[in-house]
Amino acid sequence: MAEFTMELNDEQKEVRDWLHGFAADVIRPAAAEWDEREETPWPVIQEAAKVGIYSLDFYAQQYFDPTGLGIPTAMEELFWGDAGIALSIVGTGLAAVGVLANGTEEQIGTWVPQMYGDANDVKLAAFCSSEPDAGSDVASMRTRAVYDEAKDEWVINGTKTWATNGGIANVHVVVAVVDPDLGSKGHASFIVPPNTPGLSQGQKFKKHGIRASHTAEVVLDNVRVPGSCLLGGKEKLDERLARARERAKAGGGERVKNAAMATFEASRPAVGAMAVGTARAAYEVALDYAMTREQFGRPIIDNQGVAFQLAEMRTQIDAARLLVWRASWMAINGKPFTAAEGSMSKLFASETAKKVTAQAIQILGGNGYTREYPVERMHRDSAIYTIFEGTSEIQRLVIARTLSGMPIR
């Protein structure tokens, strides 16, 4: 087990600096254009694939970093560049995490490479969990998967929403109900291979922020997938469902995690790192502006009202990063989140990003409210962190339940 450290090693610093250079030279110059276009920034993704950032090898290298700091460092630098474009680059990762967290070795080896493709033929993947009537309330999920034993196939019907890369992805990972009597414990995840009949894109959403990232509904109409596409395999699913039924009869017992929740728990610190990157970017713009903008014959940072805001912004950013790093280190080293440390990191970092970007606009004044300066876009982008992969309210609920052991509602 790697010791927890707040100092990156030389190799991690090299990767961080390399990513920072890509964010500064490739992502930032394109950010305003793709935000306005509200389209997937294919040229930037292809450039990321060409240099090795958008690739299975790079993602796996960061994911399995024994210190746990590979993913959060990468996310912070890319999202420092621009949240919308960065999410287009890393959005496939959530589906990959779903397979890595729940799939067999054979499934991981078969499907994760197909999610990325290569520099000459870039592929995308989408993780599909939320539904029109089941976002935070995962127990209300209606998408059903029914096993056709005669053909060893699963038949999936339903509609998913808020899916990053939904409908345009080559590989979709879909969470569906297999036993409605068990609530959220009766869910399972499935791979939907490329060009599977019955899967189509529904509504594409026009969003407040992260506009360069494609978000859409995914419609599943009698989608048939082979039995081998059930993540973890049917034997493991049957065992898990049997345990859940026994505990339900006994009136409770040990909590059984479903595949979607395992994916979200693994990715929450990474979302916190995204928020840290956006917050840091806005803070740096505000600091530079305050140092150079003069009013009444002196830089505005010479006023306590501005200087103290910047001091608070930097303090919150550093605190958020430390929470993210702690949760990331715990996750990679198998330390249980006994105080919901993963949710803590996402909650604090997400709220910090919203607050810091708003403060940056205030420091820039009228200029901050225009699209001539990037803090306006950063503020719009930051709103998503308190919503996706578990709202701030859900994070507080998870933390409170973990700390108290009570079924708080």
The residues carrying an active-site annotation are: 389
Return d(Cα 180, Cα 134) in angstroms, integer.
14
Return d(Cα 174, Cα 95) in angstroms, integer.
9
DSSP secondary structure, 100-123, as one string: HHH--HHHHHHHHHHHHEETTEE-
The burial of 383, by beta-carbon neighbours within 10 Å (0-12 exposed, 13-18 middle, 19 or more buried), is given as middle
Return d(Cα 176, Cα 238) in angstroms, integer.
15
What lies within 8 Å, CB to CB, of 231 at 6+ separation is 98, 99, 102, 103, 104, 107, 173, 188, 189, 190, 191, 259
Which of helix, strand or coil describes residue 162? strand
Residue 202 and residue 216 in contact, taking contact as beta carbons nearer than 8 Å: yes
φ/ψ of 3, rounded to 5, equals -75, 145
Amino acid symbol at 176: A
- Which residue do the tokens 């003069």 mark? 294
Q: What does the block give as tokens for 254?
A: 């040990």
Q: Cβ of 196: how many Cβ atoms within 10 Å?
A: 17
